[in-house]
Amino acid sequence: MMVQLTPLWTDWLIYALCVIIAVYIGYTRSKPHLLAPWRKVVRNPTAVASSVILLVFATIGLLDSIHFREALPQADNSGKTVYSAEIISAFDRLAKPLRDHVEKTYSAPLAVNLFAMESVEQADGRVARLFPRLKYAGGHLGKDIDQSTQDQWRLFTKGAISGALLWVLLGFMLNAALATHAKVRFSQMAQRLWRGQTELPWRTLLFTIGIVLWFGSIVWQLAPNYHLFGTDKVGLDVLYLTLKSIRTGLVIGILTTLVMLPFALLFGIMAGYFKGWIDDVIQYIYTVLNSIPSVLLIAAAVLMLQVYMDLNKDAFNSVVERADVRLLFLCLILGVTSWTGLCRLLRAETLKLREFDYVQAAHALGASHWKIMTRHIVPNVMHIVLITITLEFSSLVLAEAVLAYVGVGVDPSMHSWGNMINSARLELAREPMVWWPLAAAFVFMFVLVLAANLFADAVRDAFDPRVQ
């Protein structure tokens, strides 16, 4: 199928981030002293388990960052391809059944009927108040809709068994590979693996992947035929919404630190290295920024953007692009409010480092200030940068929800956990209550933030010289 790639602004930044990570990996591989802390991270079972979860989220987020427009079926035979005006992502393409199965309004998880009663005209002309059938959920059952529970159990069992089988197969393959590598018998290796006596925490890895596979394949079986987490007010599948929100969360968590990093590094190191009036100016700037309550600063900036967008409506071709610019701007402004902490840490560390013998030596040998800063100081503060990035990530993901509530978060048209939680306030007040969009958003957010917190802890333990 012909597609036209239309990367958004945040997409470009995500690609850039991937390149940076690839370069970092390539650079680190050949440097034993840089590799050592990472070796410590991969030996930590919690870190391994949480990084598997993070990878799953990252994969979905990455797939959701490849945006394109599909070619429309040709109306005439002119040979010109016409592209749809709608921008979708590779993830949308994969989750097509979820995306297309739009019901009328709320429906509970795994339900086959709408959540609200409606007046429906019967075949004999009478009007009855009942819960109408959903258009898509259980549609494959046709008339046997009363068997939906059995059907769901069947699909569940199918998913559970296939997931378990896949997992066993994977375990066998891993064990075989490890046995060959360690030159021991298969059974011996299996015993070691089971008891967790391997050098790297393979057992944890295997179990985490097992859980992911198991849940994944159950969802895989159920999701196309039913609304696993129900539907929201306009009938969208809640599972689809939560999965789409992953990208928003990741973008806010990662790109914010990416945009603030250059400023924090440059200002922090310059303040610590040059001291004097440069230090005074930089300290002045970050005290000013710090003393403004951050929510208010973000609010003022977002309001400004809102006005700008209202005045320049023509600059944006589609809702998606508009929402994307707002997301990017939010990352920028969050970066502005959060760089001060890192800047202060870097300044303090540089103040200490600049008095060290090797810096003095470099100075005596005639190295320029720029050279000393980039070659001698930056590599020695990188651990602070890395620890801060990982620690900051989870708080940013959580902050997104609060900002959405205050009304200065991502665009209301963009799928995000914050927007889901925000709209849930009215849903909870309904009688009977609509709880599933809220629950889904909270659970996904919790899993991502927990994994990020655990991973950040492992990274800090491995990189912080004070802990060692």
Q: Using CA atoms, how far apart are residues 354 and 317, in angstroms rounded to an integer? A: 51
Give the interface segment with other proteins, choosing from 114-122, 266-274, 293-301, 381-389 (CB under 8 A). 293-301
Comparing CB distances to other proteins, the nearer of 356 and 446 is 446
Judged by CB under 8 A, does residue 263 bind other proteins? no
Judged by CB under 8 A, does residue 428 bind other proteins? yes
- Phi, psi torsion values for 106, nearest 5 degrees: -55, 140
Size of the site for other proteins (CB under 8 A): 41
Judged by CB under 8 A, does residue 468 bind other proteins? no
Least Å from the CB of residue 287 to other proteins: 5
Give the interface segment with other proteins, choosing from 7-15, 208-216, 376-384, 419-427 (CB under 8 A). 419-427
Judged by CB under 8 A, does residue 208 bind other proteins? no
Q: Which of 449, 458, 459, 462: binder of other proteins (CB under 8 A)? A: 449
Least Å from the CB of residue 303 to other proteins: 6
Least Å from the CB of residue 329 to other proteins: 12
Least Å from the CB of residue 428 to other proteins: 7
Least Å from the CB of residue 415 to other proteins: 17
Least Å from the CB of residue 174 to other proteins: 28
Question: Under rule CB under 8 A, which residues in 357-396 are in contact with other proteins?
Answer: 394
Instruction: Answer whether 145's CB lies under 8 Å from 133's CB.
Output: yes
Judged by CB under 8 A, does residue 295 bind other proteins? yes
Comparing CB distances to other proteins, the nearer of 9 and 442 is 442
Comparing CB distances to other proteins, the nearer of 35 and 307 is 307
Write out the chain in H/E/C secondary structure.
Answer: CCEEECCCHHHHHHHHHHHHHHHHHHHHHCCHHHHHHHHHHHCCHHHHHHHHHHHHHHHHHHHCCCEEEEECCCCCCCCCCCECCCCEEHHHHHCHHHHHCCCCCCECCCCCECCCCEEEECCCCCEEEECCECCCCCHHHCCCHHHHHHHHHHHHHHHHHHHHHHHHHHHHHHHHHHHHHHCCCHHHHHHHHHHCCCCCCHHHHHHHHHHHHHHHHHHHHHCCCCCCCCECCCCCEHHHHHHHHHHHHHHHHHHHHHHHHHHHHHHHHHHHHHCHHHHHHHHHHHHHHHHCCHHHHHHHHHHHHHHHHHHCHHHCCCHHHHHHHHHHHHHHHHHHHHHHHHHHHHHHHHHHHCCCHHHHHHHHCCCCHHHHHHHHHHHHHHHHHHHHHHHHHHHHHHHHHHHHHHCCCCCCCCCCHHHHHHHHHHHHHCCCCCCHHHHHHHHHHHHHHHHHHHHHHHHHHHHCCCCC
Q: Which of 250, 421, 434, 462: binder of other proteins (CB under 8 A)? A: 421
Comparing CB distances to other proteins, the nearer of 261 and 295 is 295
Q: Which of 219, 299, 332, 367: binder of other proteins (CB under 8 A)? A: 299
Judged by CB under 8 A, does residue 252 bind other proteins? no
Judged by CB under 8 A, does residue 49 bind other proteins? no
Judged by CB under 8 A, does residue 424 bind other proteins? yes
Q: Which residue has the tokens 């710090």?
A: 290
Q: Which of 134, 377, 438, 462: binder of other proteins (CB under 8 A)? A: 438
Judged by CB under 8 A, does residue 55 bind other proteins? no
Judged by CB under 8 A, does residue 445 bind other proteins? yes
Judged by CB under 8 A, does residue 453 bind other proteins? yes
> Which residues contact other proteins (rule: CB under 8 A)?
284-285, 287-293, 295-297, 299-301, 303-304, 307-308, 311, 394, 398, 401-402, 405-408, 421, 424-425, 428, 438, 442, 445-446, 449-450, 453-454, 457
